[in-house]
Amino acid sequence: MKRSLRSFGTGMMFVGPSLFLMIVFVFYPILKTIYFSLYLTDPRGVPVQFVGAENYVQLLASDSFRLSMKSTFLFVLYTVPTSILLALFLAVLANERVRGVEFFRIIFSSSLGVSVAAGSTIWLFLFHPSIGLFNHILKTLGTAPIQWLTSPDWALVSIALTTVWMSVGFNFIVLLGGLQNISEELYESAKIDGAGYWVNLFRITLPLLSPTLFFVTVVTVIHSFQSFGQIDILTKGGPAESTNLIVYSIYRDAFINYKFGTASAQAMILFVIILIATYVQFKVGEKRVHYQ
């Protein structure tokens, strides 16, 4: 008994600091969020009335919330596969031994160095309805201009486009790192066996890259669910709530409308969704991942 207690104490010494930080910055806020989600708050953000699950019930019944969920899932669908495939494509290209490839590596990863705010502002000008570059190009081609950010049909696509551009840099670097880790000997022996480029790619490169791909997928999905900056700068959730993704919706309710109750309830729902998504990815994804 005494000994196990002592070893518990020693153990705590090791995990204590990180446990402390987790409590302050993760567990305490989570508990507080659950607490808020059961209350109505006054305009100053003070919880005044206990309402139990009413915030959740009203959310699930509200059109706006359902639309928000739908846009969020569509957004994840638009951005995750596109940005991973694009990054993979670029990484495979940049992994070739060609002269001057370093230049392209820098170019392909450069969007990593641009902050969300700066990047979004650049895109804001590209999308501008009357003096933007994109509509100018369309005009010279003789096609009708597109209301990139002001049409409910296009806004989500435009935001997705921006997000893909932003996340490609990071994904590219990680995937390129994964590619460079694959041992040269494997390709050499494949060459002796007479394997061509495509066989190499699908039989050696991709299977050995799968742990990296898995990591990139998990991270991109979570990032995608949590997108905020580009929406705040480009559309503020509009038009007609078509880009009111869940995190933006939480922000609106909490810090503009000062309804911490509804906002916390949404945050809890988002938490559960990401938890499930990550769990599923680990269960399904891990079986297909080939570790060396």
Partner 1 sequence: MKRIWLLGLVLLLVLAGCTNSETAGGGETGQTGDGKVKVTFWHSMGGDAGKALQKIVDNYNAKQTKVFVQTEYQGSYEEALTKLKTVGGTPEAPTLMQVYEVGTKFMSESGYIQPVQNFIDKEQFDLSQLEENIAGYYRIDGKLYSMPFNTSNAVMFYNKDKFRDAGLDPEKPPRTFSEVREAAEKLTDSAKDEKGFAILIYGWFIEQLMANQGADYLDEGNGRKGEPAKTLLNGPEGLRIYQWLDEMNKEGVLGNYGRKWDDIRAAFKAGKVAIYLDSTAATASNVKDSPFEVGTGFLPVPDGVEPKGVIIGGGSIWMMNSVSDEQKAAGWDFLKFVAQPDTQAQWAVDTGYFPITKAAYDEKILQDTYAKYPQYLTAVKQLQSTKLTIATQGALMSVFPEARAEVENSIEKLYGGADAQKVLDETAEKINKLLADHKKVSK
Amino acid of residue 286: E
Minimum CB distance to partner 1, residue 145 (Å): 5
Q: Which residues bind partner 1 (CB under 8 A)?
A: 5, 8-9, 12, 16, 20, 23-24, 28, 40-45, 48-49, 128-131, 135, 139, 144-145, 147, 149-153, 236, 238-241, 252, 255-259
Minimum CB distance to partner 1, residue 63 (Å): 8
SS (H, E, C) the chain: CHHHHHHHHHHHHHHHHHHHHHHHHHHHHHHHHHHHCCEEECCCCCEEEECCCHHHHHHHHCHHHHHHHHHHHHHHHHHHHHHHHHHHHHHHHHCCCCCCHHHHHHHHHHHHHCCHHHHHHHHHHHHCCCCCHHHHHHHHHCCCCCCCCCCCCCHHHHHHHHHHHHHHHHHHHHHHHHHHHCCHHHHHHHHHCCCCHHHHHHHHHHHHHHHHHHHHHHHHHHHHHCCCHHHHHHCCCCCCCCCCCHHHHHHHHHHHCCCHHHHHHHHHHHHHHHHHHHHHHHHHHHHHCCCC
Name the β-bridge partners of 41: 47
Minimum CB distance to partner 1, residue 126 (Å): 13
